[in-house]
Structure 1
Amino acid sequence: MPFLEFIAGSVSGALGLAVGHPLDTVKVRLQAQSMYKGIFHCVAKTYSHEGLHGFFKGMAFPVLTTGITNSVVFGSYSNALDYLSQSRRSDRSQGTPASMTHVFTAGCFSGLMQVLVCAPIDLVKVRLQSQATVVRYRGPFHCVAVILKEEGPRGLFRGALALALRDVPCYGLYFLPYEVIRKALTEDGKQPGTFAILMAGGIAGVVTWAFANPMDVVKARLQLSGAGGREYRGVLHCMRVSVREEGLRVFFKGLLLNSLRAFPVNAVTFLSYESLMRLFYQQER
């Protein structure tokens, strides 16, 4: 049933978030602020000033809303793939795989849907995570209220273009290596095993972030530009200023952290998603 993918995506997203949020917080701070010399310096400063709680800033809001985000991604991907390939998930798992073109296109579609629905959620998460010594927002709802008051409704969509430039192509790349690697590690006629799903999901996450990182840096800076951070006029202006002041290496800030975080997060996400989908389909029979 089409809605089952949305349910499985919601649960798997929450599990993946719980695994990766501390590293995501460090990544956001490295990308958006120049006060840190590197990963370990950021970790040490965060812990010394804020304790363990500092690594989980902004987590409550994504936990409540990640169900929406991942539900949109996995639900729209699976249903788009059904439509493009004119086949059901159960057919593809029995040895009739979708074409790589269909997989990539369905992934891009899921990225677009994710941006349209979840851009404000991502903005609030980034602003809450970036708070260090100065606490500007008391929580997610206060953050939304302040943004609406000071920046208007458009403020909730700061960085949305950069988010779209990151997520639309990169979700195509996200699902493509997953499908290819999972199939390569699975014997013909058999269901993918736990190892195949974990490896395929983890590698897919790392590959995706290798391509997504430059625009992720731009997105984070644009999202913080209305919160007392540096003001940028748009994506291209942010890129030009960042390169002029910090060199091309600026686009790879947080890449190591993203890669370290991406493998376990996406391995857990895909394994929980696939396990739930099998459970749902078994109950349907």
Structure 2
Amino acid sequence: MSADFWAGYISGAVGILIGNPLDLIKVRLQARDSISTQTVTSYARQFESKSALVAGTAAPILGYGALNALLFVSYNRSEAAINTALNCQANLWTTWFAGAIGGLATWAVSTPTELIKCRAQLSSPPASSWNIAKQVFKTEGIRGLYVGGVVTALRDSIGYGFYFWSYELSSKWIESSRKNTSDFSQEAAKVLLCGGLAGIVTWVSIFPLDVIKTRVQEQVPGATKTPLLGSSVLAQRRLGAMDIARAAYREEGARVFFRGLTVCSVRAFIVNAVQWAVYEWIMLELGQGRHKRLEPI
């Protein structure tokens, strides 16, 4: 396996462990049955045990580690191929397109991982990721694991385009504004800051799509009532992404598509700062230090 595969896998798994508690709150705020008067604090009080803080982490640790590995490998190879095909040096446009291709390549892993994670985080009483996966596969087959696949693919492609684009842009901005001399502490601070900013930019760019994805994937068709959050909403048929979006806007207005963005932004900064730091460190340790290739726009 290549260095960027292992660096991506390990950094992705570390990010899930760090960010899961805030991700759980974010998903519950996005879900259709969230009561508007409930706040982040009221959701945090639902964590009655340490196990609640890691609800739904099994699938993401395995799945997101693989997803992150696939993402970085696809991104690095795509960027090299694009630059070769266009006979040009790397720039922010090719970086965005390579990131979008990398995000799209993660679809096969991302969709079932996200579906299992969402349902595990919203289940009441709590259910393990493994039990959720077995139940979905038993009742709906492999197709059931790919519910919401189109909106997930769109979210990941756009989001990861901005992910790498914003990381490179902020890296270049910091490098151009500081002195030529640099030491380890400066480099570490740069990676942490740029990684955190990239996380925020990414989620701001695709948050409405993520809200729709969550509401599509939380649906359990054929049940008299969905077990998610103890909802009494009938789930006799599954609604598509456009139906979900129209219904959400009609019932709660445009702000529903940004519910949970503050929590998500805090989580995104912390998680992606650590993820990029771990990725860059592992690449350096494996003798594959990341070389900056971007030229000024």
Residue 292 of structure 2 aligns with which residue? Answer: none
| 2:216 is the alignment partner of 1:222 | yes
Give the whole-Å Cα distance in 1 for the aligned partners of 2:89 and 2:238.
45
Amino acid at match of 2:21: P
Give the whole-Å Cα distance in 2 for the aligned partners of 1:163 and 1:206.
18
Deviations 1:83-119 (A, max 9, x none): 22239xxxxxxxx972111100100001101112321
Q: For residue 193 of structure 1, give the secondary structure of its aligned residue in structure 2.
A: helix
Superposition RMSD in Å: 2.3
Give the whole-Å Cα distance in 2 for the aligned partners of 1:101 and 1:271.
24
Contact kept in structure 2, 1:124 and 1:143, CA below 8 Å:
yes
Shift of 1:79: 1.5
Q: Structure 1 residues 145, 282: CA separation in 2 closer, same or farther (over 3 Å shift)?
A: closer
Q: For residue 269 of structure 1, give the secondary structure of its aligned residue in structure 2.
A: helix
Amino acid at match of 1:271: A
Amino acid at match of 1:82: A
Contact kept in structure 1, 2:64 and 2:110, CA below 8 Å:
no
Give the whole-Å Cα distance in 1 for the aligned partners of 2:150 and 2:220.
15
Give the whole-Å Cα distance in 1 for the aligned partners of 2:240 and 2:19.
29
Give 5+ residue unaligned stretches, structure 2: 229-234, 290-297
Amino acid at match of 1:42: Y
Q: 1:273 aligns with which of 270, 275, 279?
A: 279
Give 5+ residue unaligned stretches, structure 1: 88-95
| 2:94 is the alignment partner of 1:102 | yes
Q: How does 1:27-38 map to 2 (within 5 A)?
A: 27-32=26-31, 33-35=33-35, 37-38=38-39
Contact kept in structure 2, 1:232 and 1:238, CA below 8 Å:
no
Residue 265 of structure 2 aligns with which residue? Answer: 259
Number of residue pairs matched? 268
Deviations 1:202-255 (A, max 9, x none): 001001111111011110111111262655421110000111111111100110
Q: For residue 157 of structure 2, give the secondary structure of its aligned residue in structure 1.
A: helix
Residue 146 of structure 2 aligns with which residue? Answer: 157
Percent of matched pairs sharing the same residue: 35
Amino acid at match of 2:187: G
Contact kept in structure 2, 1:26 and 1:55, CA below 8 Å:
no
Q: 2:52 aligns with which of 47, 51, 54?
A: 54
Residue 92 of structure 1 aligns with which residue? Answer: none
Give the whole-Å Cα distance in 2 for the aligned partners of 1:282 and 1:83.
19
Residue 19 of structure 1 aligns with which residue? Answer: 18
Shift of 1:282: 6.2
TM-score normalised per structure 1: 0.87
Residue 90 of structure 1 aligns with which residue? Answer: none
Give the whole-Å Cα distance in 2 for the aligned partners of 1:272 and 1:261.
16
Residue 232 of structure 2 aligns with which residue? Answer: none
Give the whole-Å Cα distance in 2 for the aligned partners of 1:236 and 1:12.
34
Shift of 1:190: 7.0
The answer to which structure has the higher helix fraction is: 1
* Segments ≥4 residues shifted beyond 3 Å: 187-192, 229-232
Contact kept in structure 1, 2:5 and 2:73, CA below 8 Å:
yes
Give the whole-Å Cα distance in 1 for the aligned partners of 2:76 and 2:288.
18
